A and B are shown apart, each in its own frame.
Chain A
């Protein structure tokens, strides 16, 4: 006998009133039914794949220079040509993806860590703590991002070793982007705090720390994930812009942002498009896929939202 197993679709599940689905499963099902999200996931999957397996995908070393073959045009041997030091450019892009994605990921981690912590404390304790924290957040979010990131990077960058600049950038982007998240989490917690289950927790004598970590924060995970996703798009964008201005991750470490730096040389801009168009397209695709996923996640987490 053959048993047919049908994948549950949202509509099927809704009709079947008996089926109880958890929120995560619900989100996953909604996501799967969204074509845009699927496109985003596929692009992202490819980017992650090439970033992780870069060493196996190319026979070249991204730092191995060879002054005999500088500035070669694309060929069968070097698909995207070579750069000013004769390094294989495609290899540099593959490895650049690794760094760019890492910077994005870590910046967002920093932002989320700070945002969740500060928002959590602010929303939970309220009063003057809340007042001060939110005021600081307000200042940071009203600082014009790029000029400040540039200034901080230039000022602090001079005191940091070139190879550590990567971390500096992550920290700068992270510390400049937490206020939005903190405000969001604070708002969520303020509204959740009033609800009965928190009063029940208080009645049971559960400690503050435990209340925040175990009972309040889990309720904000949905928003956190959406924001983390969209924040990552922003972080990748910021890193590339800073690197493009020469104030981000410094060569020889390749990132998509500092690879486009070649375009600031007029001759390269005009006659060697293969040296700056591909990393630009990579940034665009990465950010696009993250945005697509983020939008779909937002719709999935908050079904009332409109897009």
Chain B
């Protein structure tokens, strides 16, 4: 197993290199000369040249890239022009906020959709199955941001059940339980969007994988052993259906971040998605670059986890 993980890690190296070149390349195309964050608008041309030199922008591109890589590896991501602070220091609370909302909700939608998908597959073409099939087709087709707006309109404006946006009630000077409840209250609407969005796709995927597995010969064998139908489905069939589901999780992680950006912007949830948008609108390119790097790293980690999970459930992988 350890060998397998090492091999996957080695396999990731070229991916990481290509990815870092992509990110660096994109940022190099940004308009402006890259200076001016730390200078006053009245800076003289000489000062600008000096600043460019200080930042190394007069060197050849490959050298800039290598320097950037060197600094990044050491954890130096440059300063944010919005916050006038090192990027590495300011993104931490935002990551935590995103994690609280998105990741937890996403895991939650897995916990619901996988059993639902299994039941739908077992009862294929039943009313229950048809209902959830229609539900997931609708869910997949619903743009998340529009759904979010509808929820705000219905449950914050028309029927004021939940706050429109934000993470806590402004001016609320509470702590402990009250503060936690207040935050939970702010989470409800975005959570619904995330859970339903995740549910629709996963439900469908689980169902398809299960249907594929259920018609396999070894399921018939399991039944012929006299096993209970529950054991046949949840042990013999599900263990096999889990293989494609785990692969799917690997691919779903990038999709998860897409959700971060839009939903956090709509709900003004102070997470990494929202500061990415702030950074983009206000041209804080060091922050943009750092965030993209963060997203990319998380995605790669997700893929690695999926690979490991894959190897854990599928014995055929190890011998390769």
Contacts and interface: CB of A to CB of B under 8 A. Distances in A.
Interface of A: 36, 135-136, 138-139, 141-148, 150-152, 154-156, 158-159, 233, 237, 240-241, 244-245, 247, 260, 263-264, 266, 269-270, 273, 276-277, 280, 283-284, 287-288, 291-292, 295, 305-307
B58 interface: no
Contact of B15 (A139, A152, A292): A139
B110 interface: no
Contacts of B207: 306-307
A270 B155 CA distance: 11
B93 interface: no
A139 B18 contact: yes
A273 B204 CA distance: 32
B169 interface: no
B15 A145 contact: no
B157 A270 contact: yes
Contacts of B258: 144-147, 241
B234 interface: no
B18 A136 contact: yes
Contact of A240 (B143, B211, B298): B143
A159 B29 contact: yes
Given A148-B292, A152-B26, A307-B133, 10 more contacts: A138-B15, A139-B22, A142-B19, A144-B299, A147-B295, A150-B261, A155-B29, A237-B143, A306-B211, A307-B204
A283 B143 contact: yes
Interface in B261-320: 261-262, 265-266, 273, 276-277, 280, 288, 291-292, 295-296, 298-300, 303
A144 B254 CA distance: 4
B137 interface: yes
Contacts of B276: 147, 150-151
B31 A159 contact: yes
B29 to A, nearest CB: 5
A159 to B, nearest CB: 6
A247 to B, nearest CB: 7
Contact of A142 (B15, B26, B208): B15
Given A151-B26, A260-B145, A269-B149, A291 B137 contact: yes
Contact of A247 (B141, B149, B280, B299): B280
B66 interface: no
Contacts of A295: 137
A159 B29 CA distance: 9
The residue among A138, A143, A152, A266 with the most chain B CB atoms within 10 A of its own CB is A143
A36 B260 CA distance: 32
B128 to A, nearest CB: 15
Interface centre among B145, B262, B277 (most CB of A within 10 A): B145
The DSSP consensus for interface residues of chain A is helix
The interface centre, meaning the residue of A147, A150, A156 with most chain B CB atoms within 10 A of its CB, is A147
Contact of A284 (B141, B280, B288): B141
Contacts of B292: 147-148, 151
Contacts of B212: 306
Contacts of A154: 280, 288
A292 B137 contact: yes
Nearest to B133: A307
A270 B296 contact: no
B121 to A, nearest CB: 8
Contacts of B150: 277, 280
Nearest to A290: B141
Contacts of A306: 207-208, 211-212
B165 to A, nearest CB: 9
B149 A260 contact: yes
A245 B143 contact: no
A159 B138 CA distance: 38
B131 interface: no
Interface string B129-153: 0000100011011111110011011
Interface in B1-34: 14-15, 18-19, 22, 26-27, 29-31
B254 to A, nearest CB: 4
Contacts of A292: 137
Interface string B18-62: 110010001101110000000000000000000000000000000
B111 interface: no
B296 A143 contact: yes
Interface in B234-266: 251, 253-255, 257-262, 265-266
A125 B22 CA distance: 26
A143 B153 CA distance: 33
Contact of A269 (B152, B211, B288): B152
B170 to A, nearest CB: 14
B57 to A, nearest CB: 16
A237 B146 CA distance: 11
Given A142-B299, A155-B26, A135 B15 contact: yes
A150 B22 CA distance: 14
Given A147-B292, A147-B295, A155-B27, A269 B19 contact: no
Contact of B143 (A270, A287, A307): A287
B142 A144 contact: no
B257 A146 contact: yes
B265 A245 contact: yes
Contacts of A244: 145, 262
Contacts of B153: 269-270, 273, 277
A245 B296 contact: no
A36 B153 CA distance: 30
Contacts of B140: 287, 291
Interface in B193-231: 204, 207-208, 211-212
Which 4 residue pairs of A and B lie closest in terms of their CB atoms, listed nearest first? A146-B258, A280-B146, A288-B141, A144-B257
Nearest to A159: B31
